[in-house]
Amino acid sequence: MIYRINPDVCIGCGICVEECIQETITLEDDVAAIDEDNCIGCACCMDACPVDAIEEI
Protein backbone atom coordinates (compact mmCIF):
# COMPACT_ATOMS: atom_id res chain seq x y z
CA MET A 1 0.00 0.00 0.00
CA ILE A 2 1.08 3.52 -0.72
CA TYR A 3 -0.06 6.61 1.13
CA ARG A 4 -0.52 10.27 0.30
CA ILE A 5 -1.10 13.43 2.29
CA ASN A 6 -4.35 15.33 1.91
CA PRO A 7 -3.01 18.91 1.86
CA ASP A 8 -6.42 20.32 2.77
CA VAL A 9 -6.33 18.43 6.09
CA CYS A 10 -2.60 18.45 6.94
CA ILE A 11 -1.66 20.94 9.68
CA GLY A 12 2.10 20.65 9.11
CA CYS A 13 2.86 19.38 12.60
CA GLY A 14 5.72 17.14 11.39
CA ILE A 15 4.80 14.12 13.49
CA CYS A 16 4.64 11.92 10.39
CA VAL A 17 8.10 13.11 9.36
CA GLU A 18 9.49 11.97 12.71
CA GLU A 19 7.64 8.64 12.64
CA CYS A 20 8.47 7.61 9.06
CA ILE A 21 10.97 4.73 9.27
CA GLN A 22 11.93 5.21 5.60
CA GLU A 23 12.55 8.94 6.05
CA THR A 24 10.41 9.49 2.98
CA ILE A 25 8.17 12.27 4.32
CA THR A 26 9.17 15.92 4.26
CA LEU A 27 7.48 19.22 5.06
CA GLU A 28 7.06 21.50 2.07
CA ASP A 29 5.47 24.90 2.70
CA ASP A 30 4.15 23.62 6.06
CA VAL A 31 2.43 20.62 4.45
CA ALA A 32 3.74 17.04 4.60
CA ALA A 33 4.69 15.30 1.36
CA ILE A 34 5.41 11.61 0.82
CA ASP A 35 7.91 10.39 -1.75
CA GLU A 36 5.69 7.63 -3.11
CA ASP A 37 8.64 5.86 -4.77
CA ASN A 38 10.22 5.21 -1.36
CA CYS A 39 7.07 4.52 0.67
CA ILE A 40 6.96 0.91 1.87
CA GLY A 41 3.36 1.07 3.08
CA CYS A 42 4.08 0.45 6.76
CA ALA A 43 1.36 2.94 7.86
CA CYS A 44 3.47 4.37 10.71
CA CYS A 45 2.69 7.85 9.41
CA MET A 46 -1.01 7.15 9.14
CA ASP A 47 -1.14 5.86 12.71
CA ALA A 48 0.75 8.93 13.98
CA CYS A 49 -1.22 11.65 12.18
CA PRO A 50 -3.39 13.52 14.71
CA VAL A 51 -5.78 14.89 12.04
CA ASP A 52 -6.09 11.83 9.73
CA ALA A 53 -4.52 13.68 6.81
CA ILE A 54 -2.86 10.55 5.41
CA GLU A 55 -4.82 8.41 2.97
CA GLU A 56 -4.18 5.06 1.36
CA ILE A 57 -4.00 5.20 -2.44
**DSSP track, 3-57:** EEE-TTT-----HHHHH-TT--EEEETTEEEE-TTT-----HHHHH-TT--EEE-
Report the relative pairing of strands 54-56 and 3-5 from DSSP bridges: antiparallel
Would the pLDDT of 15 be above 90?
yes
Average pLDDT over residues 3-32: 96
Q: pTM score, two decimals? A: 0.91
Q: What is the pLDDT of residue 8?
A: 97
> Which pLDDT band, with edges at 50, 70 and 90, does 1 fall under?
confident
